Structure 1
Amino acid sequence: MAEVRTAHTAQLDTDVLTAVRALLDAAFVDDFSESDWDHTLGGMHALVWEGSELIGHGSVVQRRLLHGGRALRTGYVEGVAVRADRRGRGLGGAVMEALERVLRRAYDLGALSASDDAAGFYAARGWQLWQGPTCVLAPSGIVRTEEGDGSTYVLPVGVVPDLTGELVCDWRDGDVW
């Protein structure tokens, strides 16, 4: 039977972090960079264990998104994956349930960037596709990020945003969204 536990990055030892990285590398075959790994750390993790084996993971890290003249304290979901041989058993939903509990208690807004394959999963959970333009607050100022359009989802928890307005994320190395 699978068990979901939550913990902050600071509470995870080297063996657990190594297992998380291995799971994410396997799940995102050749598409999980050092920047992606860095984005996954520093927040709350939902870890799905089957005995001593890690079979699922997701994390929420704090970011600031600008919208409607406000800087919103945003829980950004990163590194959601379930081991290939355990998919289709509701474990991804269990990961998201734990992360959404964190979002509802600590943030103004939840946000994530979804692959085409995962978009329906998030939409079915109540995540809403951002319909307006996406941008980043880069070192040079606000820069349009067309690659964020059509893949950015939000979960309103304390603020109800205008989904057709501009959404600006804070700068970070690698994929900004």
Structure 2
Amino acid sequence: MSRMTDVRAAHTAELGDNELKAIRTLLDAAFDGDFSETDWDHTLGGVHATAWEDDELVGHGAVVQRRLLHGGRALRTGYLEGVAVRADRRGQGLGAAVMTELERVVRGAYELGALSSSDGTSGFYTARGWQLWQGPACVLATSGIERTEGDEGGLYVLAVRARLDPKGVLVCDWRDGDVW
């Protein structure tokens, strides 16, 4: 029997408690328990794309607004957070379905899309047109701009209306937890 997948987009404010619990449960499992409270906080406040099969959540991703600095400009950026597919449903197009919805939001509302990728997912993003950032990565901390070398090699951008030099410096706004 073929499963029907329903991909929905909704702002955090439109999601009910049960939906938020289902998202958090999926993310905890997908990230093998390495999804912290600050990671969860970073996922909230934007537009969520959720993939449902009947009443089971099988995929999720969110776009939240951030400001990235590049080339002397502050760019309105749709930053992807909490992108995951349930382990037993990976490789079946659900990630692509979630990303299609997230990219629609990014292209419609932002100058730039950005994300920090975990190991082993780079081919997925580059196949969709995301570009690996090749230049230095930094954060605008309280003491000024600080390099975040540990994040380099895992940052991807999707240029929408912004002109980018992919070997230039890319600076993210400060936040608790992982800054990228």
Distance apart, 1:140 and its partner CA: 1.0
Distance 1:132 1:51 in 2: 43
Aligned to 1:166: 169
- Aligned to 1:99, what secondary structure does the other structure show? helix
TM-score (norm 1): 0.99
What is the aligned counterpart of 1:87 among 83, 87, 90?
Answer: 90
Distance apart, 1:160 and its partner CA: 2.4
Aligned to 1:11: 14
Aligned to 1:151: 154
- Aligned to 1:110, what secondary structure does the other structure show? strand
Kindly report which structure 2 residues correspond to 1:88-103, keeping only aligned pairs within 5 A, or say none.
Answer: 88-103=91-106
Deviations 1:125-174 (A, max 9, x none): 00000000000001111001001210000000111210000000000000
What is the aligned counterpart of 2:122 among 119, 123, 145?
Answer: 119
- Aligned to 1:116, what secondary structure does the other structure show? coil
Distance apart, 1:116 and its partner CA: 2.1
Deviations 1:76-116 (A, max 9, x none): 00001111111111000000000000000000000000112
- Aligned to 1:97, what secondary structure does the other structure show? helix
Distance 2:142 2:101 in 1: 34
Aligned to 2:28: 25
Distance 1:81 1:142 in 2: 31
Aligned to 1:57: 60
- Aligned to 1:164, what secondary structure does the other structure show? coil
State the aligned residue count: 177
Kindly report which structure 2 residues correspond to 1:41-80, keeping only aligned pairs within 5 A, or say none.
Answer: 41-80=44-83
- Percent identity of equivalent pairs: 72
Q: Structure 2 unaligned segments of length 5 or more: list them.
A: none
What is the aligned counterpart of 1:129 among 126, 132, 137?
Answer: 132
Letter of the 2:154 counterpart: S
Deviations 1:39-83 (A, max 9, x none): 000000000010111110000000000000000000000001111
Distance apart, 1:18 and its partner CA: 0.3
Distance 1:6 1:25 in 2: 21
Deviations 1:13-54 (A, max 9, x none): 111000000000000012100010000000000000101111
TM-score (norm 2): 0.97
